[in-house]
Structure 1
Amino acid sequence: MSETFQLGRKAAQAYEAVFVPAFFAQWAPHLLGAAGVRGGDQVLDVACGTGVVARAAREVVGPSGRVLGVDLSQAMLDVARQVRPDLAWQRGDAAALPFDVNSVDVAVCQMAMMFFPDPVVALREMGRVARRAVAVLVPAALAANPPFVRFSGAVADHAGVSARGLVTTYFALGDAQGLAASFTRAGLRVTSTRTVTARTTYPSVDAFVDTEIDGTPLGDGLPDGVRAAIRARCRSDLVPYVRADGALAFDFREPRGGRLAGLSTSPVPARRPDGSPTVARRSRRFTRAGQASIRLYSYAHACICRDRRCQWLRRR
């Protein structure tokens, strides 16, 4: 993860207390389902943050399975361990995962790939350690999400362009074709896409602003006066999304979601650039056919699965 986006303990606690229930928790079942996680699996949650996906995975794999969360941020891991001390948490870099080849069944990564200095390297590492499937979720383009466009504009006007960069980093991999190209360079072949719409609700505009700010490094040092100005601006700009009870509610959309349907890319190479096999012999049958799938969720996700069982994604 980029050092620019490292969170301190206070921000990590706010992330778990506010951001996870308001936004991140709803996506974990989608990711795990697309990855084909099942009872008895060994699952690696890469850039696990405070562990929302790992916790959800634990419920799926059951007592015969194993879940491990890895993150570069010690603050995030401290909170994850505090919430679920029974799970395994380890500090590590997504670009050099401290695990052996084919050491887990599935490697997943939710809402973090855009923070990595080189997403392709991270994807290759996930493919190296996973023997059956790799799945990731990332936000779609900022332009596809008008409430966030308005919010980021308020941040830029009152806190500066660099602050805007912190709150819009989430959307850095939002171009679907560019994202698919990254998967291809990592040795995964994109064969299909899907789009869904998800809805999120915050108790108020102020709650939305605080959640978005405190879930980034910006929250640690933002002056109270600047925060108040951003709130006031958003109360005005986000009026179209405010319900009668004062709650803020809006859909996440990716209007171009169907454009990649049937995309064909180059076959999965037999060996990686470093000379190592793409996968071990026991799972090579999946990649010889170039079998992978990409799912694009409105605003939220792209998912790649290197598993022949994931053909159901294209039939649904």
Structure 2
Amino acid sequence: MSPENQPIDTTTAEAYERHMVPGMFAHWTELVIGVVAPQPGDQVLDMACGTGIGARMATRFAGPTGNVIGVDIDPGVIEVARRLTQGTGTPMEWHCADALQVPFKDATFDLCLCLQGLQFFKDRHAGFAEIRRMLKPSGRLAASIWGPLEYNIGHYAVVQALESQGVDASAAKRACSFSNPDDIRDAATRAGFSRIQLRTEDGVSHFTSIQSFIDGMTQGSPSTRHAVALLPESGRDEFLKQVRMMLEPHVASGELRYPMRTHVLVAQP
């Protein structure tokens, strides 16, 4: 079977949708969508869309006269996003592409969402510039970006447990690597954005159990799972024990609820 005809591995994407979306992303996506309020008929791009929770929520606002497109570099999440929206009666497009080279014309979109994606871009300035290129003059960027590691207790627990085992936790730290508000404003300004609004929001991530959180972070996380994979087999049980111990104070009736902080950026070209 030629490489282009091989089935796409969606194992990681399915774990992401099953655990990470309801546990960590749905709440924050609703918050950003509420802030930016897409309009009927809007042309919307969901950049670094994952399995498409942002695009799916935006479609409710853009309606049948709008157009919502999701883009992600990972073919697995694009395949899952496509499956989730098949037969829904809502036309949506899904494309696998690098966020720094998106195949759309200049001034195409009224709104670009980038939900917890900018911190992962290889070149953040280029990512901001590419988004600006595709926005109409009246368009808007709406992005969410996790705050500092110590304000995101789940990520913090994973990083601490990895480092106690002598594992390089760099991949797990990337989610919170763009947390300084001044850096965010500066990057948006240098890319040509104006009318920059940046607010910091505290909230709660809600998983059905600590096990769901662990499964999400170790199997479905786009970055953290790579750090976890560096654990020696002999250290895995101790890693899991430490994560559970650190998160146990945030468990009630079996469910895990822990505080998280995110920045919400809204800017115009």
Equivalent in the alignment of 1:216: 222
Q: Give how far 1:225 is off.
A: 5.5
List structure 1 runs of 4+ shifted beyond 6 angstroms: none
Distance in 2 (CA, whole Å) between partners of 1:159 and 1:208 is 22
Is the partner of 1:135 in helix, strand or coil? strand
Equivalent in the alignment of 1:154: 161
1:247 matched to 2:255? The reply is: yes
- Mapping of residues 158-197 of structure 1, within 5 Å: 158=165, 160-161=167-168, 164-189=169-194, 192-197=197-202
The equivalent position to 2:268 in structure 1, one of 296, 300, 306, is 306
Distance in 1 (CA, whole Å) between partners of 2:235 and 2:11 is 19
Could you report, residue by residue, the CA deviation over 1:195-236 in whole angstroms, capped at 9, with x for unpaired residues?
A: 332112223333322222221355475676544322211222
Q: 1:159 to 1:18 in 2, by over 3 A?
A: farther
Q: Give how far 1:49 is off.
A: 1.0
Q: 1:192 to 1:105 in 2, by over 3 A?
A: closer
Equivalent in the alignment of 2:108: 103
Q: 1:201 to 1:36 in 2, by over 3 A?
A: closer
Distance in 2 (CA, whole Å) between partners of 1:92 and 1:219 is 22
Q: Give how far 1:68 is off.
A: 0.6
CA-atom RMSD in angstroms: 2.3
Q: 1:226 to 1:106 in 2, by over 3 A?
A: same
Distance in 1 (CA, whole Å) between partners of 2:147 and 2:23 is 18
Equivalent position amino acid for 1:149 in 2: Y
Distance in 2 (CA, whole Å) between partners of 1:129 and 1:114 is 19
Could you report, residue by residue, the CA deviation over 1:17-68 in whole angstroms, capped at 9, with x for unpaired residues?
A: 1111111111222222333411111101111111110111111111111101
CA contact (8 A) 2:181 2:198 kept: no
Equivalent in the alignment of 2:38: 37
Q: Give how far 1:187 is off.
A: 1.0
CA contact (8 A) 2:68 2:92 kept: yes
Q: Give how far 1:301 is off.
A: 2.7
Distance in 2 (CA, whole Å) between partners of 1:200 and 1:49 is 18
- Greater mean alpha carbon deviation, residues 205-214 or residues 41-50: 205-214
Distance in 2 (CA, whole Å) between partners of 1:224 and 1:80 is 33
CA contact (8 A) 1:166 1:216 kept: no
- TM-score, length-normalised on structure 1? 0.73
1:230 matched to 2:231? The reply is: no
Is the partner of 1:195 in helix, strand or coil? strand
5+ residue gaps, structure 1, are 1-6, 253-298, 308-316
CA contact (8 A) 1:183 1:190 kept: no
Equivalent in the alignment of 1:57: 58
5+ residue gaps, structure 2, are 1-7
Distance in 1 (CA, whole Å) between partners of 2:213 and 2:191 is 35
Equivalent in the alignment of 2:143: 136
Equivalent position amino acid for 1:153 in 2: Q
Q: 1:226 to 1:117 in 2, by over 3 A?
A: same
Q: Give how far 1:190 is off.
A: 5.7
Q: Give how far 1:93 is off.
A: 1.6
Bigger proportion of residues as strand = 2
Decide which structure has the larger Cα Rg and report it.
Answer: 1
Identity %: 27
Q: 1:150 to 1:91 in 2, by over 3 A?
A: closer
CA contact (8 A) 1:35 1:305 kept: no
- Greater mean alpha carbon deviation, residues 218-227 or residues 65-74: 218-227
CA contact (8 A) 2:250 2:257 kept: yes
- Greater mean alpha carbon deviation, residues 92-101 or residues 142-151: 142-151
